[in-house]
A and B are shown apart, each in its own frame.
Chain A
């Protein structure tokens, strides 16, 4: 038998249930979403199917409305059918995976599983998304067959965006079932798998909540304010911007409290059990329903002045009143902001001497020790714990990576001096001369294994290609400060950008040109991709505005033109080279990053969470690295030649809107719907697979006997576009929907995209549009309003509408 999940069921339509159903549907799985019949139905409603489905319908609707969207695209919702647990229970019989996400109550879960047992087919996998109830208790008294197919699958909120999926084997779960679900979770749903054990709150929440609650306790002891804590435990320590308290507001104080209390109750022997006692002021907040974002007020709240100005306020733990607050300031924080790398930032804070530094040290030291002590209780390796924190809490580094970053030896000395109880296994590791938890040897990534007291190689799927590992193994073919060419093996090279946000600068443009020449001589194909971190991360956030801006300021327009020409020609050369090129975008793929994908690739292999767009108009510019040309080509290239006289305006309008409205896709599926991806481009759910899958596509094309596309004249809408857009822009301007300058920019973009003063439905050379792009780009730079837009973007990061 080959296991497949053709149909799945999600029982429980709350935030998590709806999120899991949305992810399954987006991944192409038919999904049934079930919930209970309301208890309070009136007599006349008792036979009304709509009334009986009221709860599940509300959950389904909330999922549809979620922002950011849980579905990859709205139409994926048609793979989800809804029902209730009384009338539709039979629909479970042909489900291959049934996941329960009902209320965290042992009795309710036990009863539900008992009902599922006789209905499920013999190979159906049943899992629980519980975050705290032991699987053992849940499955007690059920048949062997059931328990062999029963496991924990713990997703994180929001399900689409959080990479973590904890898999918790039951005592009797068949190994093949576990392997199958791990593969399904990783490959089909795109998650990062962390193997957890059946212990309270598993890995992510056990370690994560300890850190949060401990921080709250120490904050009160040390007399810090909430904004001070968030300033420290944000990006300077490798944590997300939402830091501690804003994250709690997002999660919900009640949920956070529930997990903390549940842990406390279930770990009587935990040496840091007291770390899970939530401070009284937080309990008072929960009593007052100040639950966070969902309640409109939590640790933070935003008030509006009568002038609609936002005022951000924070709660005072002593008075429970909301107060305005300023920027948190500590010398250590200032030092961290100046430091370049994350380890340097962390060290600046952890080893500082001010109040903020002392606080951060106490919380961090306690957290590191707590994490080390949880092995092997909650997981077998440090890798699982680090991954859980990175994937489930969006930390840049988990505890052991953080420990390496601040120096294990130095920090342990300080811990001992300050009276912390350092775990014996860590001391032993140091005593044996092992001073880091991780290291790389010959391109192999190793971690320190407490059990064997030695380094072991990290186990990852063979589908995952790691660029850092390849580079460490000396596979870099050529390199500069901004980009590298890496040998992926089998004759395939990867051009990796590594600037800030992977912005495209002059050096990258030069490097890409050289890379194309190199590949032409020495390889069979090229992947353009990178593995920058972050959520959603950036394949490339665009062109280097600063570089262009400084040329414009000095009036060096000929140099801008030369630069654009070089970029355009480089991409054209890659496009028409005698080797296949595959681009592997993910996350932010904007402006120049988008142009690289559209302009060079025979095929795009995109991560499902793709935020792709040509957003240049936001800074008063237009795509001039071939973006206009290649988006237009993408739009019309799928027309069969036999289709004559089709209305090009129908193609022109959405292509124009993409550029003139700076549309950014909300997913790869949405990018396809908007014409950025074509029917031959692929969407991959697991971001870690991108480079490997892109490489496969290169090899496949090479194997099939790759021949470059033939360059031909392209059909354009010509001057008809000008009339259409002039009239439409006039209306938008009259309706005060756009500014005069927006109108100026949009008309010129229409002119470029339609081939300029060309005969309607006529043919022009690709170079015609490229030249029009460059001319318009330079004319735009000469405008004061474009310079003002760029200036504001560079200084504040926010667009200016002028």
Chain B
């Protein structure tokens, strides 16, 4: 099989659900903008040459429904002949979409493909608009549908992740993010038009756009004491709070992938190639442990060990589960989420896999790291991990 190269990987800022800069911006517009940016920043790439567009989305319904992968390829101005699809594996949807595009190239079925992800948690709520767990199955097995907060509590309780450690982890995430923002280290961000509704003097409204170029959930003023004061939100006497959980967020991300031949033909210097992508199932009521199983599996496929990896982007769905996985795998904390994670930057579900890819590759380039891993836990009880290798 041939290699699949990532030549471009970008993201919009992540903005707070219902309160942030994208609260009035439709998910199609976020996605359309990032797809166009990805094409524009890839030298010599013409839209017509893209063979497929795979888009991850966790709740592909309503504004994100009707196959947003296809809809947005058209909104973004790709020719009719360029197809598109929606990919859903909840929180790993974005990297799932990238890996499908990668596999298509690796199989030789395609030379150029796009993978990405989108989620407006403002427009489509987590859980979707019409959640309908199965009536009979839930009588005895309701744990399949365990809410994310409860899974985080279960991880904290079963594996003894203390409230103090969770809060400290959350604090560090905020501090790393605040520093990175101040030092303008998020080079993977593309300033993105955001909509706001402005009231005219006669009471009617008009839509205006402004350019949003930063993650608006970062809280540089966070203190450990402040985090300690928050009440647990999911369980009586629990330890998981709004402060040590990921933020719910709106955002989109995309990556352009090519075969080795195409890279040469277009004269592009690729960033990295995908070495491996693995998904593993686990108990639904502690889905947060997923990365602990997915990372070793992906590393094994790539023939690497933990110590070979220079940087990790491990999604901070909850401090409890991220900490658990990091500790279990013996990962050096200095290598993890160096510019902060989802606790500070947000977790736009279906976008996250593609978002972490953009962040990881930007950081690998900046730090000159050879191997990097992104990973996340997945609702319903799974973990996913991908291994990237920098191109010299």
Question: Which residues of A does B touch, CB under 8 Å?
Answer: 647, 649, 719-724, 726-727, 729-731, 734-737, 760
Q: Is the CB of A734 within 8 A of B153?
A: yes
CB distance from B127 to the nearest CB of A (A): 10
Q: Is the CB of A720 within 8 A of B142?
A: no
Q: Is the CB of A722 within 8 A of B138?
A: yes
Q: With contacts A726-B135, A727-B138, A729-B142 known, is A735 near B130, CB below 8 A? A: no
Q: Is the CB of A736 within 8 A of B237?
A: yes
Q: Is the CB of A723 within 8 A of B134?
A: yes
Secondary structure at chain A's binding surface: helix, strand, loop or mixed? helix
Q: Bound state CA distance, A727 and B127, in angstroms?
A: 12
B126-183 contacts to A, CB under 8 A, are 129-135, 137-139, 142-143, 145-147, 149-150, 153-154
CB distance from A756 to the nearest CB of B (A): 11
Q: Is the CB of B135 within 8 A of A719?
A: yes
Q: Give the contacting residue for B133; candidates A727, A734, A736; CB below 8 A.
A: A727
Q: Bound state CA distance, A647 and B153, in angstroms?
A: 31
- A754 and chain B: residue at smallest CB distance: B135
Q: Give the contacting residue for A730; candidates B143, B149, B237; CB below 8 A.
A: B143
In the complex, B235 has a CB within 8 A of chain A: yes
B228-257 contacts to A, CB under 8 A, are 234-238
- B131 and chain A: residue at smallest CB distance: A724
Q: Is the CB of A727 within 8 A of B235?
A: no
Q: With contacts A723-B134, A723-B135, A726-B138 known, is A736 near B236, CB below 8 A? A: yes
Q: Is the CB of A720 within 8 A of B132?
A: yes
Q: Bound state CA distance, A90 and B282, in angstroms?
A: 69
Q: Bound state CA distance, A722 and B285, in angstroms?
A: 20
CB distance from B53 to the nearest CB of A (A): 31
Q: Bound state CA distance, A735 and B239, in angstroms?
A: 11
CB distance from B208 to the nearest CB of A (A): 27
Interface string of B202-242 (1 = CB under 8 A from A): 00000000000000000000000000000000111110000
Residues of A within 8 A of B153 (CB): 734-735
Q: Bound state CA distance, A103 and B31, in angstroms?
A: 61
Residues of B within 8 A of A720 (CB): 132, 135
- B147 and chain A: residue at smallest CB distance: A731
Q: With contacts A726-B139, A727-B138, A729-B142 known, is A735 near B238, CB below 8 A? A: yes
- A720 and chain B: residue at smallest CB distance: B132
Q: Is the CB of A734 within 8 A of B235?
A: yes
- A734 and chain B: residue at smallest CB distance: B150
Residues of A within 8 A of B236 (CB): 735-737
Residues of A within 8 A of B145 (CB): 727, 730
Residues of B within 8 A of A649 (CB): 130, 132
**Could you list some 27 contacts between A and B, CB below 8 A?**
A647-B129, A720-B132, A720-B135, A721-B135, A722-B135, A722-B139, A723-B135, A723-B138, A724-B132, A724-B133, A726-B138, A727-B131, A729-B142, A730-B142, A730-B145, A730-B146, A731-B146, A731-B147, A734-B146, A734-B154, A735-B150, A735-B153, A735-B234, A735-B236, A735-B238, A737-B235, A760-B132
Q: Is the CB of B237 within 8 A of A723?
A: no
- B142 and chain A: residue at smallest CB distance: A730
Residues of B within 8 A of A735 (CB): 149-150, 153, 234-236, 238
Q: Bound state CA distance, A719 and B135, in angstroms?
A: 6
Q: Is the CB of B135 within 8 A of A734?
A: no
CB distance from A570 to the nearest CB of B (A): 34
Residues of A within 8 A of B137 (CB): 723
CB distance from B199 to the nearest CB of A (A): 18
- A738 and chain B: residue at smallest CB distance: B236
Residues of A within 8 A of B238 (CB): 735-736
CB distance from A511 to the nearest CB of B (A): 42
CB distance from A791 to the nearest CB of B (A): 26
Q: Bound state CA distance, A722 and B132, in angstroms?
A: 9
Q: Bound state CA distance, A723 and B139, in angstroms?
A: 8
Q: Bound state CA distance, A451 and B237, in angstroms?
A: 69
Residues of A within 8 A of B131 (CB): 724, 727
Q: Bound state CA distance, A721 and B130, in angstroms?
A: 11
Interface centre among B133, B135, B154, B285 (most CB of A within 10 A): B135
CB distance from A108 to the nearest CB of B (A): 42
CB distance from B42 to the nearest CB of A (A): 43
Q: Bound state CA distance, A454 and B132, in angstroms?
A: 74
- A719 and chain B: residue at smallest CB distance: B135
CB distance from A748 to the nearest CB of B (A): 12
Q: Bound state CA distance, A720 and B134, in angstroms?
A: 7
Q: Is the CB of A730 within 8 A of B138?
A: yes
Residues of B within 8 A of A647 (CB): 129-130
Residues of B within 8 A of A722 (CB): 135, 138-139
Residues of B within 8 A of A719 (CB): 135
Q: Please provide the 10 A-B residue pairs with the shortest distance between their CB atoms, ordered closest to farther.
A: A730-B142, A726-B138, A735-B235, A723-B133, A727-B145, A722-B135, A727-B133, A723-B135, A719-B135, A736-B236
Q: Bound state CA distance, A723 and B131, in angstroms?
A: 9
Q: Bound state CA distance, A647 and B238, in angstroms?
A: 33
Interface centre among B133, B139, B285 (most CB of A within 10 A): B133
Interface string of B184-206 (1 = CB under 8 A from A): 00000000000000000000000
Q: With contacts A734-B235, A735-B150 known, is A727 near B142, CB below 8 A? A: yes
Residues of A within 8 A of B143 (CB): 730
Residues of A within 8 A of B146 (CB): 730-731, 734
CB distance from A325 to the nearest CB of B (A): 34
Interface string of B283-321 (1 = CB under 8 A from A): 001000000000000000000000000000000000000
Q: Bound state CA distance, A734 and B138, in angstroms?
A: 14
Residues of A within 8 A of B135 (CB): 719-723, 726
Residues of B within 8 A of A734 (CB): 146, 150, 153-154, 235, 285
B74-125 contacts to A, CB under 8 A, are none
Residues of A within 8 A of B142 (CB): 726-727, 729-730
Q: Bound state CA distance, A734 and B235, in angstroms?
A: 7
Q: Bound state CA distance, A165 and B40, in angstroms?
A: 74
Q: Bound state CA distance, A185 and B91, in angstroms?
A: 60
Residues of B within 8 A of A727 (CB): 131, 133, 138, 142, 145
- A736 and chain B: residue at smallest CB distance: B236
Q: Bound state CA distance, A647 and B130, in angstroms?
A: 8
Residues of A within 8 A of B234 (CB): 731, 735
Q: With contacts A726-B142, A727-B138, A730-B145 known, is A736 near B235, CB below 8 A? A: yes
Q: Bound state CA distance, A723 and B137, in angstroms?
A: 8
CB distance from B231 to the nearest CB of A (A): 12
CB distance from B382 to the nearest CB of A (A): 18
Residues of B within 8 A of A729 (CB): 142
Q: Bound state CA distance, A723 and B142, in angstroms?
A: 8
Q: Bound state CA distance, A731 and B379, in angstroms?
A: 14
- A747 and chain B: residue at smallest CB distance: B139
Q: Bound state CA distance, A580 and B119, in angstroms?
A: 53
Q: Bound state CA distance, A731 and B129, in angstroms?
A: 19
Q: Bound state CA distance, A722 and B136, in angstroms?
A: 8
Residues of B within 8 A of A731 (CB): 146-147, 149-150, 234
Q: Bound state CA distance, A735 and B285, in angstroms?
A: 12
Residues of B within 8 A of A736 (CB): 235-238
Residues of A within 8 A of B132 (CB): 649, 720, 723-724, 760
